[in-house]
């Protein structure tokens, strides 16, 4: 008996099951391999890094303010312009300051000449005392001589009385000369013309007037770029009025806000990889962790959060971390204040400190833009004093 195969019969169920099983096995293998790859990545790479996108560029914003009042007559820089330390940014009307300076110059010259008069008076008093002493000695000799002659009757007693009156007058004149010498000497003892109190006071007044005159030209204390110019020509400004700001872009840093749960293994000095949204991932900035914040942002807020309420909900806090940026890279790719950054801290090396362990050995920021002003004032004072010393100098 021959058995025929029906072509319309359904295929055996074993084939689809085997294909499904194979697909599931492949999927399981992919998941396992993915898990192994992720585990390897985590244990070899990820667990040694902490990163955040909550990071922004910060920097020093130097406010330009006048030290004296005046009227703006010239503006030498505008927003976006580069300025160098010592460059004049704003010029105030110098006329009033110049008049005050000339008056201080005349006052110093007069004080020097008066001091010379005091020294000359001391010398004249000394000469006068010498003459008075001679007169007293002569009067005493006249009294002694006449006293002997009165006993013999050669000289009348009245003449002896006149001689004694002359002696008393000479002694009184000598005492007055000594008083004048003491009074004048008290004004010049242990001094020179330059250090005599009246001259020193006049010199201090001239120094102040000179500095005030120089401050009519408001200079940049640092090299940087001008931002937020607000002053206008003709504006009457007072000390402390903000005229503009200067931002030294080569001194910027990054402030990254990490979650408190990310700080456990962070240490000062750890390397940081930075990327800016401005330049994208193609540009990498190298930095180092400089300091860990001493409090969360809410702790230093003007109105700190009050958590003593019944509906309190725990929120993971963020702590600002300061990161320095390589100056050479900033020169090639300058950053602006407030730009968003991505910070990735390598935490493998944990030998650094959590907090700074020593104070800075020198000032972090300095400027010598104003140092020359006082030196020029002292040079001008020395010149005026020398010019008025006469032959004594």
Number of domains the chain contains: 3
Confidence bin at 1 (pLDDT 50/70/90): very low
Confidence bin at 184 (pLDDT 50/70/90): low
Residue 288 included in any domain: yes
What pLDDT is recorded for position 269?
92
Residue 169 included in any domain: yes
Same domain, 292 and 158: no
How do residues 286-320 score in pLDDT, each as one tens digit? 999 999 988 887 777 777 777 766 677 788 889 99
Same domain, 242 and 260: no
In angstroms, the CA 24 to CA 216 distance is 84
Same domain, 178 and 223: no
In angstroms, the CA 76 to CA 309 distance is 56
Same domain, 72 and 138: no
Phi-psi region of 245 (alpha: psi -120 to 50; beta: other; left: phi over 0): beta
In angstroms, the CA 215 to CA 372 distance is 12
| pTM of the shown model | 0.73
Residue 141 included in any domain: yes
> Judging by DSSP bridges, how do beta strands 318-325 and 340-346 pair with one another?
unpaired
What pLDDT is recorded for position 326?
92
What pLDDT is recorded for position 212?
94
Residue 143 included in any domain: yes
Domain that holds residue 285: 252-298+314-346
Confidence bin at 178 (pLDDT 50/70/90): confident
User: For residue 392, is pLDDT > 90?
Assistant: no
User: For residue 350, is pLDDT > 90?
Assistant: no
In angstroms, the CA 278 to CA 293 distance is 26
Same domain, 292 and 265: yes
Same domain, 75 and 223: yes
Same domain, 114 and 69: no
User: Cα-atom radius of gyration of the chain, to the nearest Å?
Assistant: 45
What pLDDT is recorded for position 4?
54
CATH code of 83's domain: 2.40.50.100
How do residues 217-262 score in pLDDT, each as one tens digit? 999 999 999 999 999 999 999 999 999 999 999 999 999 999 999 9
How do residues 311-348 score in pLDDT, each as one tens digit? 777 888 899 999 999 999 999 999 999 999 999 999 88
How do residues 41-98 score in pLDDT, each as one tens digit? 777 666 788 999 999 999 999 999 999 999 999 999 999 999 999 999 999 999 999 9
Residue 325 included in any domain: yes
Residue 226 included in any domain: yes
Which residue intervals of the chain are DSSP H helices? Answer: 14-44, 95-152, 157-188, 197-214, 327-332, 371-387
Which H helix or E strand runs over 254? strand 253-259
What pLDDT is recorded for position 393?
41
- Taking all residues of the chain, what is their mean pLDDT, rounded to a whole number? 85
Handedness of CA 147, 148, 151, 153 (dihedral sign): negative
Same domain, 101 and 89: no
Confidence bin at 7 (pLDDT 50/70/90): low
Same domain, 134 and 168: yes
């Amino acid at each position: 008996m021959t058995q025929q195969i029906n072509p319309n019969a359904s295929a055996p169920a074993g084939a689809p099951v085997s294909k499904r099983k194979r697909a599931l096995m492949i999927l399981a293998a992919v998941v396992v391999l993915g898990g192994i790859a992720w585990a390897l990545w985590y244990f070899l790479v990820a667990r040694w890094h902490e990163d955040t996108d909550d990071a922004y560029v910060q920097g020093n914003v130097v406010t330009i303010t006048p030290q004296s009042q005046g009227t703006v007559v010239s503006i030498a820089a505008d927003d976006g312009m580069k300025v160098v330390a010592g460059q004049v940014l704003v010029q105030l009307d110098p006329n009033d300051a110049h008049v005050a300076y000339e008056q201080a110059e005349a006052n110093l010259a007069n004080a020097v000449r008066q001091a010379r008069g005091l020294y000359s008076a001391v010398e004249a008093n000394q000469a006068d005392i010498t003459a008075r002493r001679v007169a007293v000695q002569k009067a005493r000799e006249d009294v002694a001589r006449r006293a002997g002659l009165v006993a013999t009757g050669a000289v009348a007693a009245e003449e002896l009385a006149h001689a004694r009156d002359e002696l008393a007058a000479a002694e009184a004149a000598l005492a007055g000369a000594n008083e004048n010498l003491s009074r004048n000497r008290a004004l010049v003892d242990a001094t020179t013309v330059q250090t005599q109190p009246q001259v020193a006071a006049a010199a201090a007044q001239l120094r102040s007037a000179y500095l005030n005159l120089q401050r009519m030209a408001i200079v940049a204390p640092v090299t940087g770029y001008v931002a937020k110019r607000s002053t206008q020509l003709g504006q009457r400004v007072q000390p402390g009025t903000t005229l503009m700001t200067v931002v030294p872009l080569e001194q910027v840093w990054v402030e990254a806000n990490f979650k408190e749960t990310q700080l456990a293994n962070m240490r000062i000095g750890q390397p940081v990889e930075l990327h800016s949204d401005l330049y994208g991932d193609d540009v990498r900035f190298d930095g180092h962790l400089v300091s860990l914040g001493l409090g969360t942002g809410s702790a230093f807020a003007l109105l700190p959060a009050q958590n003593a309420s019944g509906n309190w909900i725990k929120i993971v806090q963020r702590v600002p971390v300061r990161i320095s940026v390589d100056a050479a890279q900033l020169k090639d790719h300058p950053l602006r204040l407030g730009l968003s950054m991505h910070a990735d801290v390598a935490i493998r090396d944990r030998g650094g400190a959590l907090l700074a362990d020593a104070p800075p050995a020198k000032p972090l920021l300095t400027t010598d833009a104003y140092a020359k002003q006082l030196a020029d004032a002292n040079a001008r004072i020395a010149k005026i004093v020398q010019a008025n010393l006469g032959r004594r100098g």
